[in-house]
Amino acid sequence: MGMENTTGQTHIPIVLKDGNVCTIPEGSTWIDVAGKISKKLAREVLVVKVDGKLQDLTAPAQANQKVEFLTFEDEEGRNVYRHTSAHILAQAVKRLYPEAKLAIGPAIADGFYYDFDLDHPFTPQDLEEIEKEMKKIIKEDLPIERLEVSHEEALKLFQDMGEDYKVELLQELPPGEKVSLYKQGEFVDLCLGPHLPRTGVVGAVKLLSVAGAYWRGDEKNKMLQRIYGTSFPKKSALDAYLKHLEEAKKRDHRKLGKELDLFGISEEGPGFPFFYPKGMIIRVELENFWREVHRSRGYQEIKTPIILSRSLWERSGHWDLYKENMYFLKIDGEDYAIKPMNCPGAMLYYKTRLHSYREFPLRIAELGLVHRHERSGVLHGLLRVRCFTQDDAHIFMLPEQVTDEIIEVIDLIDYFYRTFGFTYKVELSTKPEKALGSPEVWEKATNALIEALKRKNIPYKVNEGEGAFYGPKIDFHLEDSLGRSWQCGTIQVDFVNPENFDLTYIGEDGNKHRPVMIHRVIFGSIERFLGILVEHYGGAFPVWLAPVQVKVLSVTSRNEDYAREVADFLKDEGIRVELDVRNERVGYKIREAEVEKVPYILVIGDQEEQTKCIRVRARGKGDQGPAEVGEFLQKIKVEIKEKL
Could you give the residue numbers annotated as active site? 343, 372, 390, 392, 394, 473, 519
How many residues are there in the chain? 644
First to last CA, the chain: 66
d(CA 549, CA 555): 20
Q: Which of helix, strand or coil describes residue 417?
A: helix
Strands 111-117 and 107-108 come out as antiparallel
Whether 319 and 313 have beta carbons less than 8 Å apart is answered as: yes
DSSP state of 94: H
d(CA 623, CA 316): 59
Whether 532 and 625 have beta carbons less than 8 Å apart is answered as: no
Three-state secondary structure readout of 391-422 = EEEEEEECHHHHHHHHHHHHHHHHHHHHHCCC
| Angle separating helix axes 75-96 and 124-140, nearest 10 degrees | 110
Q: Which of helix, strand or coil describes residue 99?
A: coil
DSSP state of 481: T
Beta strand residue intervals within 168-233, DSSP E: 178-184, 187-190, 204-214, 223-232
d(CA 126, CA 621): 45
Among 100, 32, 33, which residue's Cα sits nearest to residue 66? 33
Q: In what order do the strands lie in the sheet with 187-190?
A: 144-150, 178-184, 187-190
Whether 472 and 442 have beta carbons less than 8 Å apart is answered as: yes
Q: Show the DSSP H helices in 327-384 as ranges.
A: 343-350
Among 84, 82, 55, which residue's Cα sits nearest to residue 70? 55
